[in-house]
Amino acid sequence: MDHGIFGIDQSVLKVPRTIENSLRRLRRFGYRIDSASRFEIYKTKFNKLYLESIMNQKYMLEDNVQEELLYGYKDYWELIRISESKTILTSMDKSVRNEINNIFNGSILECKDSKPWNFQFQYNLSSIFEHSGFKVDLKEPDFVFRYKGKTYSVAAKRLISKKGIQANLEKAEEQISKTENYGFIAISLDKIFRDSNRIITLSDPDKSVREANEIIQNILAKDFVTGHFGRRSSQILGIIAYISFPYYSTSDKPLFELGYTSYIMFLPINEPDSPEWNEAVEISDQLHKLEINNNAGF
């Protein structure tokens, strides 16, 4: 199970420089990132709106600025993870490179075009598997990983609304069925959660992982039905539920301590204690807490 609390121990002064380092690394490996990409925009705004506010001790910001700081910060940590993936950096697949180039489009806050964030989820997730020690290949349906001599397919779907749950599960299952591998359907719940929780404040960042676990369970209980799991073919070993969110940590300086948490929950869909069930649980146990340092020597 992957879980991470990021930002608590990092000086905010490092954020603009770390963004630049990540983008420089990707550019060095041939990725086309425009100087007006949403990450470049965030770097500039972070300097102007956040760092200058701290230096001038002006701790209250307008709601739209608070949102930009939060969700740009979430994307910032996922950019680091993607930029440290050797598999991504060295890929020669044109379709992969086009999809990753698409990640840098759009504005700081997600608007009508969800593609940049959809691809960001897909490649952020493949990076999580890679950084957890799995051998990863970026191929259909979205990526595959190897474990104990077997190859598993992953179809990653970022849910845009509650209405699309069943359709996305069916599409992912169809994609996996075209392979010869057992597979997992990975779903991001970020957008569903964000639509009703735009600005999050936590009193204790150390409890954010437990909060993430509860968020997944609440969404599954409220918006998913038994059929979403029971209709799946025997080729599907399980569903991977993913949540990540940025937050402000309460302090004597209102809304200015930034944090980010990500969490993965494996949901095996076969009979408990069956070989397929145990296989999914064992793979889940291989995912560990990630350490992202932005010092990869590529």
Report the DSSP beta bridge partners of residue 249: 202, 257
Q: What is the pLDDT of residue 296?
A: 39
Residue-wise pLDDT tens digits, 114-124: 999 999 999 99
* pLDDT of res. 44: 92
Q: Tell me if 248 is assigned to some domain.
A: yes
The pair of three-digit structure tokens given for residue 78, joined into one six-digit string:
């996922």
Q: Based on the structure, what is the number of domains in the chain?
A: 1
CB proximity list for 153: less than 8 A, separation 6 or greater: 140, 141, 144, 175, 176, 179, 181, 182, 183, 184
In a domain, 296, yes or no: no
d(CA 180, CA 117): 28
What are the backbone dihedrals phi and psi of residue 251, each rounded to the nearest 5 degrees, phi first? -160, -170
Tens digits of per-residue pLDDT, 72-102?
Answer: 999 999 999 999 999 999 999 999 999 999 9
Q: Cα separation of 250 and 74, whole Å?
A: 18
pLDDT tens across 148-178, in order? 999 999 999 999 999 999 999 999 999 999 9
pLDDT at 188: 98
- Is 298 inside a domain boundary? no
CA dihedral 79, 82, 88, 94 (to 10 degrees): -40
For residue 152, what are the domain limits?
3-286
Q: What residues in the chain have per-residue pLDDT under 70?
A: 1-10, 59-60, 251-256, 288-298
Whether residue 293 is contained in a domain is answered as no
Query: Is residue 291 domain-resident?
Result: no
